[in-house]
Amino acid sequence: MYLSRLGDGSDPNDGIYAMLDGVLALAVDEFQMGCCRGLSAEVKEDCAAVRDYGRGIPLENVVWATSGISVGMGANPKDVTIPPVKVTNALSIDFYVASYRDGECSWAKYSKGNLLEKGIEKTTEDNGTYIKFVPDPDVFPGYAFQEGIVKEILQSVAGQNKGLSISLNGAIVPDSF
């Protein structure tokens, strides 16, 4: 994951949107594997959330999938990769993930990549994953998510993934169906 600039949210290249892209990538991967029927995004000035309706992260892997470092399987055994959602977690003052699978929910809460709480409980939610994050204001001073920029990002995702239903703050994003 590359942050071309930190920014305050007024430019589509600002880091908070790269963080959102990292979360959206999970839902898009599920869709591209034929396992996700749609996603919904919500943004406020200080936070963003994405709920997909895919398979959900395996319950026992929620913490592993969203924090820490993953060792790459490339030619060089010293290669280290950090998936975008893990970077988003590390750069967030508040990060929450919940995975819903077959009547159970595995969840975790973090701050700046540090695990605060985790648990597993029963649920009636449809399968999928929910991630909500608040970027760290020490890293992104004065930032605010701009709904218009987020809508453009989601329209681009929809255009590249025909058939993926996407909503933003409760409204269907054009070009998604």
The series of mean pLDDT values per 10 residues for the chain, 177 residues long, is 75 92 90 90 94 94 84 54 81 96 97 96 96 95 94 92 91 72
What pLDDT does residue 124 have? Answer: 96
Give one DSSP letter per residue of 78-128, joined into a string: T-EE--HHHHHHHTEEEEEEEEEETTEEEEEEEETTEEEEEEEEE--SPSE
What pLDDT does residue 71 have? Answer: 53
Cα distance between residue 20 and residue 25, in whole Å: 9
What pLDDT does residue 47 have? Answer: 95
What pLDDT does residue 106 have? Answer: 97
Backbone angles phi, psi at 84, to 5 degrees: -55, -40
Instruction: Report the DSSP pairing between strands 128-135 and 171-172.
Output: unpaired
Domain over 15-162 is classified CATH 3.30.70.1140:
no
Instruction: Report the DSSP pairing between strands 171-172 and 165-168.
Output: antiparallel
* Domain limits, the chain: 15-162
Cα distance between residue 12 and residue 21, in whole Å: 11
Record the pTM: 0.89
